[in-house]
Every structure is written in C-alpha cells, then in structure tokens.
Amino acid sequence: MTDAFKTPVFLITGASSGIGAAVAHTIAHHCPTARLALTGRDTHKLQTVANTLANLEAAPLLLTGDVTNPSTSTAWVTQTLTAFGRLDCLVNNAGVCGSIGLVQEVSPQMIDRMIDTNLKGPLYLMQAALSQAMVAQQSGTIININSVAGITAYPYWAVYDASKFGLRALTEAVAEEQRGNNIRVMGIYPAAVDTPLWQSIDPNHTPDKGGMLTPQHVADAVWYTWQQPAHCHIKELILSALNPSV
C-alpha cells in the first residue's frame, strides 16, 4: 500500500466552517491516519474545527491567510510539505458570493472579490500544488468545489456565474494537461447548500433551507471521488436536492 493511501495528505481551503469543515470531519472519520492541512482566514474558527477532530492520529496543520494572494498559496503548500512530506489531495473549497442583482449594480470591489476568491484563488493553489509537489510525485488529486452556477448561468448572479464558469474551464483544461503525470483534477457541482454563504447574499432574508443540500452531502462526494482507484477519474459530479427549495 502506498503512503498516499496509508497516510494521505490533504490540503483543504475554507475549512473553518460549512463545506470545508464537513470535508475535514468526513476524512477524519473514514481515515484517522490522514494528515490534514486546514486553511482559513480566522485562526480561532480553524482551531474550533481542529478540536473536533480528536480521532486523527496527527493534529491538523492550521494555516491562515488570504486565498487571493498567490504568495499565500505557495506558503501553504510549502508548510504542508514541511509538516507532512507530500501532498496527495488539494480540495479547493473557499468561495464567496455577493448580493444578487443586475450586473450593472455590482461594484468593482465585489467583482474583484468574487473573481479573485472563486477563480484566481483555486488557480494559484493548483499552480503551487502542481509545481511544488504533485508533478514531482507523479501522483495527486485536485478536487475543485464548484457550483451548478458553473454549468448553468443564473440571472442576477452574473459575476458569480462567471467566476464559476471560469473555474469549470480551468478544471477541465488542467485535467487534460495533467493526465500524463497521473494527476486527477475533478469538479464537484452542488446546487444550493445550507452554508453561511447565504448571509452574504441577503442578510435580511433567510431562504427556505428545507430543500437545500447540506455540507455533509458535498463532503461525502469529496470522499467518494478521492477514494476511487488511482486509474479512475471522475471528471465531474453534479449534486442536487431531490425537491429543491432554491
């Protein structure tokens, strides 16, 4: 059995809450020997998640910083390699969404925030993971948590749609580039998920969450795609609620 399956090393962005925290818990549940590097902007929130992962054999590495800064991506991968010696799976999960509305109403600052976080952030991390670890290893998996907004463009969400369509293109192109290096690049496309992201869309309105997916649904999809045999490449996985409310 290879080290990648005995003690796999995961780097998970946006791990302080929501989907990222659920992914960390799911990996810890299925594979207590895993090594986890968890990233986020809030040290306290990351530590709170880490305190609930007591079944892991090794304490998770907690990394704070701004995912939109390319030097942060380089540093995170470097620190992961220093701590654990390799990187087997990058889970690009960090993402943001601004208030919905007509495209002419979106501020330049919000455009930058969504494009920088949802598209450039995963790009920088993929570059760092590939150049610093996975190509040399001749193995690795990159899982990009996208959205159904990366498949279908929704009106009033135009900039968010654009960031997610861009991430889909990036995922598909890099998947083809890295086949020869035995590196799998995959996209997961969930419909509406009950996460704190909805507060940033409209703080004064709480949508009906009864028909939403949960973070655990997405985390289970991450584990499913990761644990496939190395020669099996699930290019994309689309998740939707049976009776959606949004």
Q: What pLDDT, in 10s, does the model give residues 156-176?
A: 999 999 999 999 999 999 999
Indicate whether 51 belongs to any domain: yes
63 beta partners? 39
- Pick the catalytic residue from 124, 154, 156, 160: 160
Indicate whether 133 belongs to any domain: yes
pLDDT computed for residue 206 by the predictor = 65
Indicate whether 246 belongs to any domain: no
Listed as ranges, residues in the chain with pLDDT below 50 are 1
Range of the domain at 70: 3-239
Rounded to two decimals, what is the model's pTM?
Answer: 0.94
Structure tokens at 37: 């590097």
Indicate whether 245 belongs to any domain: no
What does the buried/exposed string (b/e) look like for 173-208 if buried means 16 or more CB atoms within 10 Å of the residue's CB? ebbeebeeeebbbbbbbbbbbbbebbeeeeeeeeee
Please state, in angstroms and rounded to a whole number, the distance separating the CA atoms of residues 37 and 24: 9
To the query of whether residue 160 is one of the catalytic residues in this protein, the response is yes
Q: Which CATH number does the domain housing residue 26 bear?
A: 3.40.50.720
Indicate whether 53 belongs to any domain: yes
3-state secondary structure of 9: strand
Indicate whether 67 belongs to any domain: yes
Residue pair 245/207 in contact by the 8 Å Cβ criterion = yes
pLDDT computed for residue 198 by the predictor = 60
232 beta partners? none
Q: 230: which residues sit within 8 A by CB, 6+ positions away?
A: 139, 182, 184
Indicate whether 244 belongs to any domain: no
Axis crossing angle, helix 43-50 with helix 18-30, rounded to the nearest 10:
30
pLDDT computed for residue 99 by the predictor = 77
pLDDT computed for residue 1 by the predictor = 41
62 beta partners? 38
Q: How many domains does the chain have?
A: 1
Indicate whether 45 belongs to any domain: yes
